[in-house]
Amino acid sequence: MTVDRAPRAVPWLDALERELAGLIERNGWSGIELRTIYVGGGTPSLFGPSVMADLAARLRGLADMSGLIEWTAEANPEHFDAELALDWRNAGIGRLSLGAQTFDPAVLAWMGRLHGVDGPTRAIRAARSAGFEDISVDLIFGLPGRLGRDWSADLDRVVDLETEHVSLYGLTAEPAAPLGRWVEEGRERLADPETYADEYLEAASTLAAAGFGHYEVSNFAKPGRESRHNQAYWEGGVYIGLGPGAHSSVPPRRWWNVRDHATWAARLDRGDSAIEDEEVVTGDAAVLEQAWLQLRTWAGALCRTAGQRDLARIWRERGLAAIGGDRVTLTPAGWLILDKLAVDFADRDLNADAGSQTLSDPRFRTEACSTG
């Protein structure tokens, strides 16, 4: 679920409820079971107390939550205090994702973040006091060199927080965002590819040494603390997204909502669908997507053809992958070029001999295991 920046809780909750009810009716669904919930968008904490309890009540009116195994909510450190932490725990939220990004005061100012260097520490202290035992922290890398950010110091700081999970994000310049315009106009320069790679590999090494498992290209967790919700994405499972710009998937069909909040809400007010567009992923596209999804996790991909096995051995020789039985798993160096390797891996499947195993083999199907 995505959250708009305007903190109007009741209209947001009403719209989410209408959207889910509409999806159930239009698709003829019955007996929906929510296994995981993720309330994202970066700003759920702006809503303040009582909102998550209200959300839970509305969801229970439309779906079975008795088998819920994980409920995550994102928070900005500056908006998360002891009162909100206790309110969220009482509502049923068990996993907290904090958008720390950096601990450098100059970079925080450049990013427009208000929580200050000690904000994450205060937020984590409040969360622990309320009973949160599963906390994730976001950290961003690949920043412009002129900022002088000490990446090693940020990594040491995040380790010192003793959280259960860390998510890495490489800075990107989206064309429609201010940073994208600055880069296009020559007013800002992103990190060069070598610096980007060096920072990613340093993070992988530092976090592994601190006891985190690098279980997905951008995610690190202490044993048993891997994100259950995100695994539905990476395993090609079923997930339902509510809110502006949210994506959903019931394989092989996938759809996404309009991004503008006002348009999203207006459509739902009229009783219309908020879906902007959809696609059906089959054939070559499905083979490529499966390769990309499987190779991005530490479970790796199954080598189904002789060509894939040969390719895996080449990757291992180059330090890009490890092989265990019939599966190939990328190393951090391999994850840096995931897109290229996934294309090559899928190509060795698509161009295999006619007698080779294909995606139609039942052993390679992914069961729908989660909605969120």
Asked if residue 91 is part of any domain, the answer here is yes
**Residue 330 sits in the same domain as residue 202:** no
For 137, 206, 270, the CA distances from 104, given in Å and listed in that order, are 15, 18, 46
Rounded Cα distance between 330 and 332, Å, is: 7
Choose between 112 and 151: higher pLDDT. 151
Q: Are residues 157 and 48 in the same domain?
A: yes
From 18-22, 187-191, 227-231, the region with the lowest mean pLDDT: 187-191
- Of the residues 170, 187, 210, the one at which a domain ends: 210
Residue 169 in any domain: the answer is: yes
Can you give the pTM of this predicted structure? Answer: 0.89
Q: List Cβ neighbours of 90 (8 Å cut-off, separation of 6 or more).
A: 53
pLDDT band for position 227 (cuts 50, 70, 90): very high
Q: What is the mean pLDDT of the chain?
A: 89
Rounded distance, CA 197 to CA 272, Å? Answer: 45
pLDDT score, position 194: 95
What's the confidence (pLDDT) of residue 172? 86
Residues 206 and 307 in one domain: no
Give the mean model confidence (pLDDT) for residues 7-26: 90
| 4 inside domain | no
Within-domain flag for 5: no
Mean pLDDT of 147-152: 94
State whether 206 and 312 are in the same domain: no
Is 319 found in the same domain as 187?
A: no
Whether residue 65 is found in the same domain as residue 158 = yes
Do both 77 and 190 map to the same domain?
Answer: yes
> Which of 190, 210, 230 marks a domain boundary?
210
Question: Is 366's pLDDT higher than 50?
Answer: no
Q: How confident is the model at residue 357 (pLDDT cuts 50, 70, 90)?
A: very low
User: How many percent of the chain have pLDDT more than 70?
Assistant: 92
Domain boundary among 210, 226, 252: 210
Q: Could you read off the pLDDT of 163-217 as tens digits, one per residue?
A: 999 999 999 888 878 888 888 888 888 899 999 999 999 999 999 999 999 999 9
Total residues belonging to the chain: 372
Pair (128, 39) in one structural domain: yes
Q: What's the average model confidence in pLDDT over 275-298?
A: 96
Q: Return the minimum-mean-pLDDT range out of 34-48, 134-148, 199-213.
A: 34-48
Range of the domain at 323: 291-364
Q: Strand ranges (DSSP E) for 146-233?
A: 165-170, 213-216, 219-221
What share of the chain in percent tops pLDDT 90? Answer: 77
72 and 162 together in one domain: yes
Binning pLDDT at 50, 70 and 90, where does residue 141 land?
very high
The stretch 248-253 carries a mean pLDDT of 95
pLDDT above 80 for 368: no
342 domain residue, yes or no: yes
Contact 325, 302 (CB under 8 A): no
CATH of the domain at 305: 1.10.10
**Do 297 and 202 fall into the same domain?**
no
Q: Per the structure, how many domains does the chain have?
A: 2
In this predicted model, what pLDDT tens digit does every residue of 46-96 receive, in sequence order? 888 899 999 999 999 999 999 999 999 999 998 899 999 999 999 999 999
Query: Does 137 reside within a domain?
Result: yes
Q: What is the mean pLDDT of residues 288-308?
A: 96
Helix axes 82-91, 119-130, angle to 10 degrees: 40
Q: Is residue 306 part of a domain?
A: yes
Q: Is residue 192 part of a domain?
A: yes
CATH of the domain at 166: 3.80.30.20
Q: Say whether both 180 and 69 belong to one domain.
A: yes
**pLDDT at res. 42:** 63
